[in-house]
Chains A and B, each alone.
Chain A
């Protein structure tokens, strides 16, 4: 790195040129004095000696010049003077500079904000020590492991440490007279040791501790009013006192990532809990080596705790070792559609920036033709073309840098907005977008690229023509009908058609999503969520008694038409089963993949899902009675074709001797987890038949006036168990999560489309206004000769429309193909080649183009022939 040190020394010199010059003077003075003293010693007079010494030294000017040259960095000093010159040029033309910087600021602000969002969402590092030696582990294909299995692996000591966490956990917090449901992260007692997540206050959970919690910064601020003495305070969680041992810093990021932000970390307390495994690898251990160790230990685990999914299965199946950050993690999480969405966003904001750069290019071209003579003179007196191109590029670099600074301010503001947004998600989420070195590097790259993209073409064009030709022409005489600027505007319009089409598609997707029926009634249903303290319900009987009482009480409420309970709430929980099932009609197993829900009688009536064949579940479908199921149309057709499935039986995958399940009914298809799904298969089984005991109950209540019964429903359930956390809301309000993807898509892409359109229309306006200003003499002459005003307006409008129509045609051609892949993000009911979308885009673009034409056209009409003819 010698050249780097050398550059550093040169840069240091740049910073102290004045003192360097002084020092050189002193040194020369000393040299001459020393020589003079020596001569004096040989017997010369003092005066003669000095004169002689000076003569010997010769002219010091050339020598000083050469000495300074030893230190200079030529390109840097050229750049410095180019930038200084550029700054003066911009200051002389503040309107031009403001327009260019504004365009770039919008483009770069949008671009870097999406970049920040993407890196935060997909590539943020969890809060931990040495993320590179931390890895998530999966055994037997299961995302989570049971506590005994976890302990077995931990005690095998195959890694430096092995911890577990369960992110989808809830707890009831008793505060005053109210009980709140909290999203908590249940972690093994060594979790903080292994992961090394820092705390802002107090200390983390230590091995061996059971009744302590670590709070999130948000919980501490919002729920506990930022109590400064919070460490040591007791909180009643799930009926037991816990001591607050610490508070996490504000910028804590969980290992799960994606902005997931639990309200507190609580030690795992139950044997039945399951945990996702996370290991700290010893320094230098590779992932394959860790994998091999884990597989070897899983073989031993098979002997102690054989897996229960039947013969032939083993914990060594589907073992995965995945780093906690980076691309590998994204691949293993199977969220490529997510990544694709962000990829598309990056392309879209790239196009927006391209339009902004074209605006700047266009402005630079206009200015270059105004400065044509200045440049020609500089060329004539011997400036090299490369030197002038470099100087013009320095100007666009200056614009790009200023635009980037303004864009970054926009970025910080938008990131702040996004950090504050509370999304309606089943799990709490909090984005923590902060400016970091990635943003800095990216912004530098964006500024450099924008400077080149916007500046290179105008700079080359400005210096292309010969000196004599340029000197002869005056500004007015330059340029034909189809200039480069026109081509740029056509390009901008075409790109903005593509952006608008994308935005339109997503907006239509949103309106369609919001208005389409999900296959059940969201207007007259209420969802009451009751989270129980697990320790209070030790037996299935206790739990079933609570459910029966609750349903009976709810049905008795005035205004309630029907009530039921379900294990899965559509759009809020996802439960999918897959495998091969056999029916009594086909002895060949049929592969299936269906949404699965356990519901009580009256569920279909409550939700407004029509029963097409057979019967609803009844109270006789209970534990011990013969197993029954209701399927939806898709699953019925898949299993039985056109035959009526009611009365037929099937067997679940697994041990062959399991009792058959009888299909008692068929219900209409509906949506289950996303609005984007296209009639997936679904199966319902009776809630109380499986004999399961849950920590929570999702009661569905049907009422003509859902908002009026919310309070009574909550009170009714609260009377049954005061320790339970109860949340009641109309189903319409609980649909936020379902609408979220389409809303986010519409908000992001719709605004990008509008931004692109705005920038392109500024470009169109600029070109038209410039062309009118250049033709003022011609227009004045026409008016003087008797042309009527309509003809003048027509002239401007014709020019505008020629550009717009060419732009739209090219843009539509590209959009027709470019928007095809977007179908993966849209609900099936919206087609990416929908003519309505394209018509809408054309209409919007024509309207905006007309508005952009209006100003220049009016200016042309108002031209006063007398002034115009004198105009020069």
Chain B
């Protein structure tokens, strides 16, 4: 019998192959498709898609509109979630965790079903179809609010009370204590929440379709259309590259390359 020499390190080989085959190579394929075009059945190198994107007012206005929807949705989430997370984290209620659970539970319930339920509600009260932009923003806030609440709660809950007491003892009134101590200390949670909400708000077209009555085109929808409707995979890949650049820039801006995404998905609660 052949004795297989077993080493713990070797356990990462299958995972490494998996990542190479199904994550890294596919991303390189996007890059390849973005900078090529198919002419008469042959693929050749080209900057056409790149130039096309930045000279097309339709595509640029989609980008701008998508940006606006994402910024407004993220801002509303932050404005709702911050006071809520603050109240929950500071409350003296014994079962704070159960209370928190009520607010972030939707995270684990199928979002298509939740968004469809919201569509039914908007339809019932006569809002559906009146203002597709507004309804899309309501949908984004509805879908992503839990992802803003959780990181804010986590940082505010960890906040050391003695800092706040010290600030008050040194003569800070409630407003200055908040603006000079509490808020700056909660910045990691704010940034984590913003990244969890902003990017999906630019790309999750199920929300904009369902609530914008299939009339709103956000960046994610544009990519989908180039793949499924227009059958132009080169242009779809180019828009993906532009999206990736935006994601990369927000990561640089927020300095967030850590494991927080997992915590923000609520993994610790399982």
* Interaction A to B: no
Hey, which bits of chain B sit against chain A, CB under 8 A? none
